[in-house]
Chains A and B, each alone.
Chain A
Amino acid sequence: MSSLWRQYMTYNKYSQIAARALRAGLKEDARVQAEKRGFTALRFQEWENGQPGEQVWIDKPKDDGRAKPAV
């Protein structure tokens, strides 16, 4: 019963979906704190022959002027 998701996704994705569902069931103030944890952003860059490619964002976070990127 519990492994029907196995044909469509990895455990990683399953655990993220279950976590997302749990967060959506929380009370208002706890949920606001928790939703921040659910956000994942990725930025990657392909290199070829020592030359960098374009930096690509997946789910770019909104720039509210507070945070500074590491790179």
Chain B
Amino acid sequence: MAFRLAARALPRRATPLAALARRGYAEGGPSDKIKLSMVLPHQTIFSSTEVTQVNLPAVTGDMGVLANHLSTIEPLRPGVLEVIESAGQSKKWFVSSGFATVHPDNTMTINIIEGAPLEDFSAEAVRSNLAEAQRVASGNGSEEEKAEARIEVDVYEALQASLR
């Protein structure tokens, strides 16, 4: 009680020195955006860009990352990666695989092996490639060939679902 009265008694006019001390560095304080760096081997998509939310197709399941997310390293499965830069502005890519790392300082790095915007895909090519891969996966080749075909089936099924 006494402390509160004393605080009110302080002069309300802030001196320039006090204002500087209170403001601190520009990056300090909680932010509602996370800094995203998203790279492919041949191209940088985002380079420390502030974004609101990132939706990842992690191997453990779909997850959304907001500002100040827990640090984590997530392997990605073939699926749709969505980046929401600000309310209403979102971009989607289909990615084959990679890793997403959320760092403790509210930054995030996504390394993608191969990926492209959804409009760059051809539904017809996906359909025929899926049929071919399913044929090999259930055929009578070696176990390695069938494992490779199963990977391709996973990619094409996820791609088909995302293009719908």
Contacts and interface: CB of A to CB of B under 8 A. Distances in A.
Q: Are A and B physically bound partners?
A: yes
Interface of A: 2, 4-5, 7-9, 14-28, 30-31, 34, 37
Given A5-B151, A18-B96, A21-B129, 15 more contacts: A4-B150, A5-B148, A14-B151, A15-B98, A18-B78, A18-B151, A18-B154, A19-B113, A19-B114, A22-B78, A25-B121, A26-B120, A27-B121, A31-B125, A37-B42
Contacts of B78: 18, 21-22
Contact of B122 (A7, A9, A26): A26
- Max chain B C-beta neighbours (<10 A), residue from A14, A19, A28, A30: A19
B147 A9 contact: yes
Contacts of A27: 120-122, 125
- Max chain B C-beta neighbours (<10 A), residue from A5, A16, A21, A37: A21
Contacts, number: 87
Contacts of B133: 21
A48 to B, nearest CB: 32
A18 B114 contact: yes
8 contacts: A2-B59, A14-B151, A19-B114, A21-B133, A25-B126, A25-B155, A26-B120, A27-B125
B114 A25 contact: no
B35 interface: no
- Size band of the B side of the interface? 20 to 34
B110 to A, nearest CB: 14
Contacts of B147: 4-5, 7-9
Interface in B82-117: 94-98, 113-116
Interface string B128-154: 010001000000000110011011101
A18 B97 contact: yes
- Max chain A C-beta neighbours (<10 A), residue from B41, B59, B113, B115: B113
A34 B151 contact: no
A25 B144 contact: no
Contacts of B95: 22
B159 interface: yes
B114 A23 contact: yes
9 closest A-B pairs by CB? A19-B114, A18-B96, A21-B155, A22-B96, A21-B152, A8-B147, A25-B126, A27-B122, A30-B120
